[in-house]
């Protein structure tokens, strides 16, 4: 596609459930990022992939969060045992890996009830 695609656009779940958020980056982009934006805050870095490997996962808040990018394209962010504090917009971005200009998707609004 022309831009970064994220699905679903909205996800409502119950506390304790497992969720998966999907990101389809711009074709050919080798770098992929996940950010989280809470209400009234700027995006906060979670994890960065270069190709298939997680080059930097220092922003993942705890071991309930995990992300994969098995073929170097689509990525899935996985959250286990969701908590109400996980409610936020989860943003995915991709880039050519040649500079800091990131292209963001529209995000997934996650609501944990």
| DSSP classification of residue 70 | T
Cβ atoms of 35 and 89 within 8 Å: the answer is: no
Place of tokens 């506390």: 15
Instruction: Tell me whether residue 20 or residue 57 sits nearer to other proteins (CB atom).
Output: 57
With binding defined as CB under 8 A, does residue 55 bind other proteins?
yes
The three-state secondary structure class of 85 is helix
With binding defined as CB under 8 A, does residue 68 bind other proteins?
no
Instruction: Tell me whether residue 33 or residue 112 sits nearer to other proteins (CB atom).
Output: 33
Per the document, the length of the chain is 113
Instruction: Tell me whether residue 1 or residue 14 sits nearer to other proteins (CB atom).
Output: 1
Q: Which stretch binds other proteins (CB under 8 A): 13-21, 62-70, 80-88, 96-104?
A: 96-104
């Amino acid at each position: 596609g022309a831009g970064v695609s994220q699905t679903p656009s909205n996800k409502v779940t119950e506390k304790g459930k497992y969720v998966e958020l999907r990101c389809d980056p711009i074709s050919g982009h080798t770098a992929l990022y996940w950010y989280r934006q809470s209400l009234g805050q700027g995006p906060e870095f979670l994890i960065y992939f270069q190709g298939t490997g997680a080059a930097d996962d220092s922003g993942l808040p705890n071991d309930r969060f995990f992300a994969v990018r098995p073929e170097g394209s689509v990525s899935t962010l996985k959250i286990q045992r969701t908590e109400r504090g996980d409610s936020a917009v989860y943003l995915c971005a991709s880039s050519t890996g040649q500079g800091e200009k990131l292209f963001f998707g529209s995000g997934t609004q996650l609501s944990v009830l």
